[in-house]
A and B are shown apart, each in its own frame.
Chain A
Amino acid sequence: MPANSQQGTQSVSVALVGSGGAGVMTAGTILLDAAAKAGWYGLMTRSVGPQIRGGESAALLRLSTAPVECHGDSFDVLIAVDWQNFTRFAKEVPLSAHSVVLADPAAGAPPAAVADIGLQIVDVPMQELLKKIAGGRPNMLALGLAAMVLGIPEDVVAKVVERRLGKKGGEALDSSLQSVAAGRAAAPGLDGRFALAPAADATAPRWLMSGNQAAGLGALRGGVRFVAAYPITPATEVLEWMAPRLTKLGGALVQAEDELASINMIIGSSFSGVPSLTATSGPGYSLMSESIGLAVAAEVPIVVVNVMRGGPSTGIATKSEQADLNIAVYGLHGDAPHVVVAPTSIGDCAVTSQWAVHLAEKLQTPAIVLSDQFLGQAQAVLSPPLDTGEGPDRLINAAPMASSARYEVTESGVSPMPVPGVAGGQYISESLTHNIRGRPSTLADDHLAQIEKRQRKLSSFDFGARWADIEGDGPIAIISWGSCCAPIREAMSLLNGGGKDLRFIALRLLSPVQPERMAQALRGVERALIIEQSHSGQLYRYLRAHYDLPKDTMCYHRPGPLAFTPGEIRDQIARMQ
């Protein structure tokens, strides 16, 4: 239920549904863009099946007067262009008795899952209205309906339609604009109860971006100039966004023949001196594991973005889960210290990726960015993510001497890295256990010295305050990560007293663990609740193994693909209070 006031609602959820090809995603994107231009914040996710064309499709939006990065517990308005395949994603569009459905009676009766709720159903004769418009478009009519119900100004919507569809040509644009207008005219009044209140900071800068785009931007800000990758859902947008932009920055993206090649190509380019990245999802990450270990042993900086999807195996490619924590932290054979970080919001995908590049380069080791499908593929209107100013900062041996040793044992563990081409710096980047000069060795002393040196790089490094975002100072701690963070933040605000007895620790650095920082963060905490989207409680077990948690620590966890909602988490927290 939106919080109502005289001026309008603070937040409203709208679902646009239709069979694949009906264009509801386009309508949703325009609605989100127009809301941003009119000064609001918003979020759009999509529910799509595995079909390339056809099948189910839904644009799920939430618009708000303040930044919003999760869906509510139910949708306020559902606009159905048709009901085909609706049952396949009905669970992703929860409705309540307060919801309103706008549907065309010509498309048939609403399915039982909708009709049985006892909500208000408003008949809108969409097909009949469209008959009067040459080339009339049902998705644009739905857009007009939604814009009217939400109170998004007509001229703003028209401008966005013109900008986004203008290149389709005059007639197509005209019929789209007429369809939008027909939708506006046909929209029911609904007492204005879904009209958005003005945002408090309507003139503050807003960006419209997906987490995958943000991850790409952060990587480029961090200095990545080479990417090799193999297409995989839901990471492909990171790559497609980066490809043309890398070219303009003087870099390159190569589509490799498989993930085994992509990970090795970036190790080769990084060895040559160019900060490098690949992006993938679970199946591709599994294939890369051996060579991520190579980058640990040979001390080559690389960044691997894993946009997690449902697993194991091929799993659910188009939907989210947080069950790759174990493989990211533990998936390499041997003792293989490396960095694992995770973004705490859609915009934070930029900050965390930029940090990952910096850490990989600084520590000469792989940095894994564990994003997830929700963060990656959601589009959000948000405050521009910070450019941290961090660059690659690799320790280079610029003037190597005959006495230089590539794998010299240093106090920090980091050894100066010569750049191929520079005379005197020649060395073998070595996968075998090696001595300080990079020569193969089976000696126990060399093995120990190099293992300790590689571990020391991580254990002696000061990761700073960015290891976690900590909010509140109450005696009950919520610990979580990734796309769980947004519904947790909202749940805390829904609780009595604004959750004053709570504190939230959103982990950004998963490995190496930070026992001292966690102890500090948990000072005064009596009970803790760990929240995560994995069936086996991977985060809970990981934190239990490495941190001194309160005796009374609970875990709320379940698998994907359904995202947590604020109400679901509020109920869990309330049980702790």
Chain B
Amino acid sequence: MNVEATSALKACAPADYKSDVKPVWCPGCGDYSVLLAMQKAFAELGTPPEKIALITGIGCSSRIASYTTCYGFHGVHGRALALGTGVKIARPDLTVVVAGGDGDGFSIGGNHFMHACRRNPDLTYIVMDNQVYGMTKGQPSPTTDPEWQSALAPGGTGIRPFHPLVIALASGANFVARCFSGDPNGTAQTLVEAIRHPGFSFVQILSPCVTFRPEQKEWRKVVHPAPVEATDDPARAARRIMSDDNFNIGILYRGSRPPYRPKQSETRIAVADLEREFTT
């Protein structure tokens, strides 16, 4: 695996990361601000678009790759983390960002989420969490409140919501943060830190769905910065997250586990050398 490309570094502005594809998102969708925050973060990092691989699954937010000028992969539902892990292992020189929604990441892709946290590849996973399936027009997701009414679950699901940040910590994520799309500058800053931090960085971005969850427009009023600095103690971070109001915004945990790299062998051989073991 020695595919590597070089390119001259040049100063990039946020606009350099924006493609001319018109988003499918509804007017007022939180994801527009996530896109903006992502562009700002990439520009601040100074990583040219061709050195970034933006890998997504299926859902409204997973369309985001097309709206950037990076290399991208719009795969199937729920498997973006596996795609992204393959990219990073094959090409450690690339900056890999995986993005998607709460259904894609926590429901159909839930197993990959847990295992990406424990594997700890050096990539950043952004989940635009709006607690609803938007593309299929309003079904409950793993982060939806149990009482929320919908055609598919009349009377609510009655199921306790999934707690992605705690799962991430328990599974071994190396960086955990929560952002609000209504604050693109703050989100951009957190993304810069997440991408710079070695290992698996998980960023949950509260990103309102104005069409199926119009009440989420009120999030703007309830989000607040985390009152304390990020900790490097996962147990303390988990306690804080379990007891907060789910609107605590900021970097909540910074770990120091070394990122995953497949074992390298010091001895190098050629394929022809393998033939000897079969000779009788």
A-side residues, CB < 8 A to B, are: 33, 36-37, 205-209, 213, 217, 220-221, 225-226, 228, 244-245, 247-254, 256-258, 260-274, 276, 290-291, 294, 298, 381, 384, 387, 418-432, 439-440
Q: State which of B21, B94, B263 has its C-beta within 8 Å of the C-beta of A272.
A: B94
> Are B94's CB and A420's CB within 8 A?
yes
Query: Can you list 21 A-B contacts (CB < 8 A)?
Result: A207-B278, A220-B271, A228-B86, A247-B263, A263-B82, A265-B83, A272-B90, A273-B91, A274-B90, A298-B73, A298-B75, A419-B3, A420-B87, A423-B7, A424-B50, A425-B50, A426-B50, A427-B72, A428-B72, A431-B74, A431-B76
Q: How far is the CA of A254 from the CA of B87 in the complex (A)?
A: 12
> Are B90's CB and A273's CB within 8 A?
yes
Q: State which of A248, A258, A429 has its C-beta within 8 Å of the C-beta of B73.
A: A429
CB neighbours of B111 from chain A (8 A): 257-258, 260-261
Number of interface residues of B (CB under 8 A): 59
Stretch with Cβ within 8 A of A (4 or more), from B62-70, B153-161, B228-236: B62-70
CB neighbours of A206 from chain B (8 A): 279-280
CB neighbours of A256 from chain B (8 A): 82, 115
CB neighbours of B4 from chain A (8 A): 421
Q: Which of B73-127 contact A (CB under 8 A)?
A: 73-76, 78-79, 81-87, 89-91, 93-94, 111-112, 114-115
> Are A273's CB and B3's CB within 8 A?
yes
CB distance from A193 to the nearest CB of B (A): 26
> Are B83's CB and A208's CB within 8 A?
no
> Are B268's CB and A274's CB within 8 A?
no
Q: State which of B63, B66, B73, B268 has its C-beta within 8 Å of the C-beta of A250.
A: B268
Among B2, B58, B83, B271, chain A packs the most CB atoms within 10 A around the CB of B83
Q: Does B18 contact A (CB under 8 A)?
A: no
CB neighbours of A254 from chain B (8 A): 85, 89, 262
CB neighbours of B51 from chain A (8 A): 421
CB distance from A431 to the nearest CB of B (A): 6
Among A217, A225, A423, chain B packs the most CB atoms within 10 A around the CB of A423
Q: Does B212 contact A (CB under 8 A)?
A: no
Q: Does B140 contact A (CB under 8 A)?
A: no
CB neighbours of B70 from chain A (8 A): 426
> Are B75's CB and A249's CB within 8 A?
no
Q: A269-B86, A272-B86 are in contact. Are A264 and B79 (CB under 8 A)?
A: yes
**New contact pairs (18) apart from A207-B275, A291-B75, A291-B76, CB-CB < 8 Å:** A217-B275, A247-B265, A248-B265, A249-B269, A250-B268, A252-B1, A253-B262, A254-B262, A257-B112, A269-B89, A269-B91, A271-B73, A271-B86, A272-B86, A421-B5, A421-B94, A423-B50, A429-B75
> Are B86's CB and A36's CB within 8 A?
no
Q: State which of A213, A274, A422 has its C-beta within 8 Å of the C-beta of B7.
A: A422
CB neighbours of B81 from chain A (8 A): 261
Q: State which of A245, A261, A272 has its C-beta within 8 Å of the C-beta of B87.
A: A272
CB neighbours of A273 from chain B (8 A): 3, 90-91
Q: Does B243 contact A (CB under 8 A)?
A: no
> Are A207's CB and B280's CB within 8 A?
yes
Q: State which of B49, B75, B115 has its C-beta within 8 Å of the C-beta of A257.
A: B115
CB distance from A525 to the nearest CB of B (A): 38
> Are A420's CB and B76's CB within 8 A?
no
Q: Does B182 contact A (CB under 8 A)?
A: no
Among A220, A260, A268, A381, chain B packs the most CB atoms within 10 A around the CB of A268
CB neighbours of A440 from chain B (8 A): 63, 66, 74
> Are B69's CB and A250's CB within 8 A?
no
> Are B71's CB and A420's CB within 8 A?
yes
Q: State which of A220, A244, A269, A420 has its C-beta within 8 Å of the C-beta of B5.
A: A420
Q: A252-B262, A273-B3 are in contact. Are A265 and B75 (CB under 8 A)?
A: no
CB neighbours of A248 from chain B (8 A): 265, 267-269
Q: How far is the CA of A425 from the CA of B7 in the complex (A)?
A: 12
Q: Does B36 contact A (CB under 8 A)?
A: no
CB neighbours of A33 from chain B (8 A): 280
Q: State which of A205, A261, A420, A431 has its C-beta within 8 Å of the C-beta of B50.
A: A420
Q: How far is the CA of A370 from the CA of B262 in the complex (A)?
A: 28
Q: Does B274 contact A (CB under 8 A)?
A: yes
The digit string for B18-51, where 1 denotes a CB below 8 A from any CB of A, is: 0001000000000000000000000000001111
Among B76, B94, B280, chain A packs the most CB atoms within 10 A around the CB of B280
> Are A207's CB and B279's CB within 8 A?
yes
Q: State which of A221, A250, A261, A421 has its C-beta within 8 Å of the C-beta of B93.
A: A421
Q: State which of B79, B91, B275 has its C-beta within 8 Å of the C-beta of A384.
A: B275
CB neighbours of A439 from chain B (8 A): 21, 66
CB neighbours of B7 from chain A (8 A): 421-423
CB neighbours of B50 from chain A (8 A): 420-426
Q: State which of A208, A247, A269, A419 has its C-beta within 8 Å of the C-beta of B280.
A: A208
> Are A276's CB and B279's CB within 8 A?
no
Q: Does B136 contact A (CB under 8 A)?
A: no
> Are A267's CB and B75's CB within 8 A?
yes
CB distance from A304 to the nearest CB of B (A): 14
Among A37, A247, A261, A427, chain B packs the most CB atoms within 10 A around the CB of A261
CB distance from B170 to the nearest CB of A (A): 16
CB distance from A249 to the nearest CB of B (A): 7
Q: How far is the CA of A318 from the CA of B274 in the complex (A)?
A: 27
**Closest A residue, CB atoms, query B73:** A429
> Are A265's CB and B93's CB within 8 A?
no
Among B4, B50, B51, B78, chain A packs the most CB atoms within 10 A around the CB of B50
CB neighbours of A225 from chain B (8 A): 1
Q: How far is the CA of A276 from the CA of B91 in the complex (A)?
A: 13
Listed from nearest, the 5 A-B pairs whose CB atoms lie closest are A268-B86, A421-B5, A264-B82, A252-B262, A269-B90
Q: How far is the CA of A422 from the CA of B58 in the complex (A)?
A: 26
CB distance from A435 to the nearest CB of B (A): 11
CB neighbours of B82 from chain A (8 A): 228, 256, 260-265, 268
CB neighbours of A422 from chain B (8 A): 5, 7, 50
CB neighbours of A267 from chain B (8 A): 75, 83, 86
CB neighbours of A270 from chain B (8 A): 86, 90
CB neighbours of A420 from chain B (8 A): 5, 50, 53, 71, 87, 91, 94
Q: Does B55 contact A (CB under 8 A)?
A: yes
**Closest A residue, CB atoms, query B260:** A254
> Are B90's CB and A208's CB within 8 A?
no
Q: Which of B226-280 contact A (CB under 8 A)?
A: 262-265, 267-272, 274-275, 278-280
> Are A264's CB and B89's CB within 8 A?
no
CB neighbours of A263 from chain B (8 A): 82
Among A221, A269, A418, chain B packs the most CB atoms within 10 A around the CB of A269
> Are A268's CB and B87's CB within 8 A?
yes
Q: How far is the CA of A432 from the CA of B280 in the complex (A)?
A: 52
Q: How far is the CA of A429 from the CA of B55 in the complex (A)?
A: 9
Q: State which of B69, B74, B83, B263 has its C-beta within 8 Å of the C-beta of A268.
A: B83
CB neighbours of B90 from chain A (8 A): 226, 268-270, 272-274, 276
CB neighbours of A208 from chain B (8 A): 278, 280
> Are A426's CB and B85's CB within 8 A?
no
Q: How far is the CA of A427 from the CA of B52 in the complex (A)?
A: 11
**Closest A residue, CB atoms, query B121:** A254
CB distance from A286 to the nearest CB of B (A): 15
CB distance from B124 to the nearest CB of A (A): 15
CB neighbours of A276 from chain B (8 A): 86, 90
Q: How far is the CA of A206 from the CA of B269 in the complex (A)?
A: 22
> Are A421's CB and B91's CB within 8 A?
yes
CB neighbours of A421 from chain B (8 A): 3-7, 50-51, 71, 91, 93-94
